[in-house]
Structure 1
Amino acid sequence: MNAHPTHLRPAPPEARIVPPARPLGPVRLIRTVVRNPIEAWPEAIYREPLYRSKFLGRSSLFVMAPPLIRKVLMDEADSFEKSEVLRRSLSPALGDAILTADGARWRWQRRAAAPIFRAERIRSFVPAMIGAAERARDRLAAEAGPEIDVAHAMMRATFDVIVETMLSGHGRIDAAQVEQGITDYLEATSWIFALSLVGAPAWTPYPGRARAERARGYIREELDRLVAEGRRAGTEGRNDLLSLLLAARDPETGQAMDDRDVADNLLTFVAAGHETTALALTWTLYLLSLHPETEAAVLAEIEAATGGQAVTPDHVEALPYTRQVIQEAMRLYPPAPVVVRAALQDLDIDGWRIRAGTPITIPIYAVHRHTAIWEDPDRFDPRRFDPEAVKARDRYAYLPFSAGPRICIGMGFALTEAVAILAVLIRSLRFRLRPGHVPTLKQRITLRPAEGMPMRVEPR
């Protein structure tokens, strides 16, 4: 079967950031960072290999060239640490977990958690992923006709996966309240970016801080409660992530996670895991609604793989083009659109002398649309992820899960989950964007559609 479209017609206008032609002045820069940090990146970041920025005498470096990204994330990874802005944004909620820790503390947690995300373990989670997708399909079918916010629907579907695979089933956590808490917490992070930019201390008040702290307190209490319950129930014979974290040991030292470590990492996987996969699905459905020829190719592949039967775990592994479509959606709309590091020592990057403490930004959204890296970078084309095209491309040109030793530990889980959910939903339902609607991209750690994703859902 050759279901792949042999050519792609010009795409309709699609959501994108229009960068300023020149660097913003100080006042406008602060206002833009508070509103939407990604809009502050100047046009040069989308075409140059490196870009130095200065603000109030403080220097920072943007790195876009794939060989130089490799130097930061892989070759000299030990010369960099997590940036101050990331710590101030996420550590109050996530503690010192895999995402936020550095050095030896990060290494032992990573080693302890790695077996949980091996391919055979992920396969054991696929039935739960399919079950969550089927429940989402049935909910959406019942709501068919009226316009709905597909972004919210995808958040609910991926949180259902989290509950089943990480928390041993329903009824133990208020998914809607946790989802709202995560949104309330992330909404305040643009103020943290702005305050870090001007060197304000971490205690500085800002709008929304009290609401964000209430949200953080609620989520932490819920996770602490779940960990205590899981510890009392024991881990024997259980396959959920909570039990696996409680039982995890560093293979080199035998060190186990205490309840705080487990809660920090569980919250990391709950917050980061469901949010990023939901956004990948939201942007994929958005693009498919604009590109019916690609949607038809995905449907043909799914029907060929399933023979018209219900989706099974074996089918999920037999949908390479469907996976390519998701990968291309994550190129155009990376759920995690930026990586920020700080230099631990004076060093040289391609002849640019960097002082210790200098922030190093890898603007993933801009790298994925960089004119020197991608041909016609704003065009949607899943063929970019044909196996031969991937082999020919620099590994550090595509970074939806970051790269190097700190590459996202849940990458395999997230891609498998996205393929499973999309395969179940799209064969039964048609998603159509509100006519004329162009989503606004908003960075709040993740890359969200600011007004949600208004779509009509219809049965096929």
Structure 2
Amino acid sequence: MSSSDLPVHAALATQPLGLWGSLRAARSNLLTILPEIAVRQPMVSGRTGLRWHMVMDPGAIRRILLEKVDDYPKSNATKNILRPAIGDSLFIAEDAHWRWQRRTAAPVFSHRNVMNLAPVMSTAAERSADRIGLAGERGIDLLDEMVRTTFDVISDVTFSGQDTFDSDGVHRAIDAYIGEAGKISLFDMLGLPDWIPRPGRLLSGKAVGQMKKVADEAIEARRLRGASDIPDLLDLLLAGEDPETKRQMNTSELRDNLLTFIVAGHETTALTLAWSLYLCAFDKTVQEQARNEVRSVLSGRTAAGEDVDNLPYIRQIVDEALRLYPPAGIISRTAQRHDTLCAREVRPGDTVMIPIYALHRNHMLWEEPDAFRPDRFADRKAVDRYAYLPFGDGPRICIGASFAIQEAVIILATLLARFDFDLVSGRAPDPVMILTLRPNTGVWLTAKPL
């Protein structure tokens, strides 16, 4: 299969980068630090300041994420990047502090609650389609549009009907923080202590402070107003308690977790949708098959929560987009104890990475791994659970995975029902990872109304 038959992919490293080369690569595109042999081997190890291991073997990954999860907490670099913005929320908390928060928040994302939020997703999908329709024959950046759409969703399901919440201000602060603080520091790569300030993260502190202030004010206003008839995420979290200790989240804990849900809940789904639309435009046969499914199920109406299970091919496209372009392209852990992975020694303090991007394209695990083939997921049971990890796995699997899948299927189905999407010549997206794997130059498509 020639490169012209394949969707865009990152160029991986074909020779050692060294410390300075790795730093330059990590600050411009983390994917370029991945060695090309990572898509052909079960494990790759080396030293760049710190000893590191990249693991692509499903059995070893199961050990890291499930069997020995307490021996592999999130890496110090990950915590250093995210803690200023989201504190010790679910995403980076460890041990007992993580467990009680997880027990408190898990019911919020129950199937019933997620289904109750589906009308918000359907309404946002229709608003997005109306905006896209205004472009006429001009190319439109679907990444920008999907970011706007999914932020509308997460704002509405988090702070519904609350005029005091400055969603645009929070959105700007998130973008400012990710743009600067998300870059790996030389101090991180050298393993210097956490208390040594990372300059880029200090520069973004003002935006983060304002974002937290806005969220705190919105939480206090909701405490005074009380819950809505159909509770949103904030209502559910305010009412939630740890079933074991009966502990409830205070304002700062609520804020940190809400900001985590806002950052993760719109950015990752927006990226999934933008890449899905690009892939549908790349392969018009897939797009037409998806549209036929949508027409037969929806018959001209907007997609709703109860339609998700009846749109399996749309779900397969989303799954394949998440395989080719996982929003979290690399996850990182720090080993706490001696261990053996793939017959290789792991020492305390070693950085252990699971490069999801390389795992999802590993030739030992996938046939034609760089090709776009949604039918891979026609039988989900045929896919090795630890070969496909868009939401992680084990006890720390993404708490909002079902929310994200439902939202992506509803929005993608709605847009495919109304438009035929085509690529814009000379405007191919460029896969770049800083904090998340983004199409760096946008996803430029034309959308012909049907």
Partners of 1:384 and 1:248 lie apart in 2 by: 39
Following TM superposition, by how much is the alpha carbon of 1:310 offset from its aligned partner in structure 2, in angstroms?
Answer: 3.4
Alignment of 1:281-296 (within 5 A): 281-296=273-288
Aligned to 1:221: 213
**1:337-364: CA deviation from partner (whole Å, max 9, x where unpaired):** 1111111222222332222121110000
Aligned to 2:227: 235
Aligned to 1:46: 39
- Equivalent residue of 1:98, what SS? coil
Aligned to 1:369: 361
Aligned to 1:19: 12
Partners of 1:59 and 1:228 lie apart in 2 by: 46
Does the Cα contact within 8 Å between 1:348 and 1:354 map onto a contact in 2? yes
Alignment of 1:26-425 (within 5 A): 26-56=19-49, 58-169=50-161, 171-200=163-192, 202=194, 203-204=196-197, 206=199, 208-209=200-201, 211-235=203-227, 237-387=229-379, 390-425=380-415
Aligned to 1:459: 449
Partners of 2:65 and 2:398 lie apart in 1 by: 12
**1:148-203: CA deviation from partner (whole Å, max 9, x where unpaired):** 22111001100111122111136443333322322221122453344300234554
Partners of 1:385 and 1:156 lie apart in 2 by: 29
Does the Cα contact within 8 Å between 2:335 and 2:346 map onto a contact in 1? yes
- Equivalent residue of 2:128, what SS? helix
**1:78-137: CA deviation from partner (whole Å, max 9, x where unpaired):** 211111011011011000111010101111111111111111111111111101111111
Give the letter for the 1:433 counterpart: L
Q: 1:210–1:88: structure 2 CA closer, same or farther, 3 Å change rule?
A: closer
Q: Report the RMSD for the aligned CA atoms in angstroms.
A: 1.9
Partners of 2:283 and 2:4 lie apart in 1 by: 7
Partners of 2:358 and 2:186 lie apart in 1 by: 20
Following TM superposition, by how much is the alpha carbon of 1:60 offset from its aligned partner in structure 2, in angstroms?
Answer: 1.1
Does the Cα contact within 8 Å between 2:290 and 2:313 map onto a contact in 1? yes
**1:285-307: CA deviation from partner (whole Å, max 9, x where unpaired):** 00000100000011000111112
Moved more, 71-80 or 177-186: 177-186
Partners of 2:45 and 2:422 lie apart in 1 by: 42
Does the Cα contact within 8 Å between 1:36 and 1:190 map onto a contact in 2? no
Following TM superposition, by how much is the alpha carbon of 1:26 offset from its aligned partner in structure 2, in angstroms?
Answer: 2.5
Moved more, 157-166 or 137-146: 137-146
Partners of 2:198 and 2:76 lie apart in 1 by: 17
Partners of 2:291 and 2:161 lie apart in 1 by: 31
Q: 1:170–1:283: structure 2 CA closer, same or farther, 3 Å change rule?
A: farther
Give the letter for the 1:180 counterpart: R
Give the letter for the 1:109 counterpart: Q
- Equivalent residue of 1:61, what SS? strand
Partners of 1:236 and 1:182 lie apart in 2 by: 27
Partners of 1:259 and 1:268 lie apart in 2 by: 14
Give the letter for the 1:332 counterpart: L
Aligned to 1:435: 425
TM-score by length of 2: 0.95
Following TM superposition, by how much is the alpha carbon of 1:12 offset from its aligned partner in structure 2, in angstroms?
Answer: 3.2
- Equivalent residue of 2:310, what SS? coil
Partners of 1:239 and 1:30 lie apart in 2 by: 45
Partners of 1:183 and 1:315 lie apart in 2 by: 33
Q: 1:235–1:312: structure 2 CA closer, same or farther, 3 Å change rule?
A: closer
Give the letter for the 1:55 counterpart: T
Does the Cα contact within 8 Å between 2:61 and 2:354 map onto a contact in 1? yes
Flag structure 1 segments of 5+ consecutive residues without an equivalent. Answer: 1-7
Following TM superposition, by how much is the alpha carbon of 1:37 offset from its aligned partner in structure 2, in angstroms?
Answer: 1.5
Flag structure 2 segments of 5+ consecutive residues without an equivalent. Answer: none
Following TM superposition, by how much is the alpha carbon of 1:53 offset from its aligned partner in structure 2, in angstroms?
Answer: 1.6
Partners of 2:169 and 2:430 lie apart in 1 by: 25
Give the letter for the 2:254 counterpart: V
- Equivalent residue of 2:421, what SS? strand
Partners of 2:424 and 2:76 lie apart in 1 by: 40
Partners of 1:172 and 1:39 lie apart in 2 by: 42
Q: 1:300–1:16: structure 2 CA closer, same or farther, 3 Å change rule?
A: same
Does the Cα contact within 8 Å between 2:183 and 2:435 map onto a contact in 1? no
Partners of 1:23 and 1:225 lie apart in 2 by: 49
Identity of aligned residues (%): 38
Following TM superposition, by how much is the alpha carbon of 1:10 offset from its aligned partner in structure 2, in angstroms?
Answer: 9.1
Give the total of aligned pairs: 449
Following TM superposition, by how much is the alpha carbon of 1:315 offset from its aligned partner in structure 2, in angstroms?
Answer: 2.2
Moved more, 124-133 or 348-357: 348-357
Following TM superposition, by how much is the alpha carbon of 1:210 offset from its aligned partner in structure 2, in angstroms?
Answer: 5.3
